[in-house]
Amino acid sequence: MVVESKPNKCTTCCIHYNNGFQWHIQASFTKNRQQWEIKKIEAPHTCLNTFVSFYHKNLDSSQIASFVVNFDKANSSIPIKTIIVEIKNRLGYSVTYKKARVVKQKALAMEFGDWDESYNHLPRRLQVVQDSVPGTVVQYITCSYVVDDVKDQSNYILEPMFWSFKPCIEGFKYCKLIVQVDDTFLTGKYHDTLLTAISQDGNQNIFLLAFAIVEGETKEALIWVFQLL
């Protein structure tokens, strides 16, 4: 509940403030920093309104995601149904499966960055791996990003990517001369295929050799991977 609202000051309190709930918060705008700052906050807000409607206009997916991120980041593979139960138990708000899925994606983006941001960081992270583990091999292909038949020189599309860590390369000297490539489909926003090259050591254990992300398990992709191997 808003107690005071001015251009440079805001005070709110729990809607049940007069019934024993002492939570309230005061914030003011600082001119030299040009930002709002919390000046006073009283007690934890333990009040829970159990009469939140199904279509509560203030509880959109972004609002819920900021709450969900606290328990979702501990387990990024948490099922959607579990998120629905958590929201119901903690907020008293029922959400649809579709909305809970959107909430999870936004919560993961808050914690780890979104899909596009992650892809933008990928070349730099691979370079860090090469610097940290000398001898690691990384190969990838990019193509220009075209919009209305015009190349965007500031953006590139990341296509096939191959990498093999130095210990994997050295370990192959002690493996049988057998190389097998297996694949698994990625189920995120980008439906690429992860290829894994494996061999077998002297104890008949599987030994990982290299990895590649390609558009699909095509003849061209396999030739490209075996050429690098």
Average confidence score pLDDT of the chain: 81
pTM: 0.56
pLDDT given for residue 75 in this prediction: 63
Residue 75 near residue 64, CB atoms below 8 Å: no
Q: Quote the DSSP letter at residue 152.
A: E
pLDDT given for residue 71 in this prediction: 60
pLDDT digits (tens, 9 = 90+) for 185-218: 887 777 888 999 999 998 889 999 999 988 887 7
For helices 97-112 and 61-72, angle between their N-to-C axes, nearest 10 degrees: 60
pLDDT given for residue 11 in this prediction: 92
Residue 69 near residue 111, CB atoms below 8 Å: yes
Residue 157 near residue 145, CB atoms below 8 Å: yes
CA distance 100 to 72: 12
pLDDT given for residue 51 in this prediction: 46
pLDDT given for residue 189 in this prediction: 74
CA distance 77 to 75: 5
Which residue type, as a one-letter code, is found at position 172?
F
Which residue type, as a one-letter code, is found at position 56?
H
Using DSSP, state whether 30 is helix, strand or coil: strand
Which residue type, as a one-letter code, is found at position 101?
R
Which residue type, as a one-letter code, is found at position 194?
L
Q: Mean pLDDT per 10-residue run, the chain (229 residues)?
A: 90 81 87 89 68 55 72 67 82 80 82 77 87 91 81 79 92 90 82 90 91 83 79
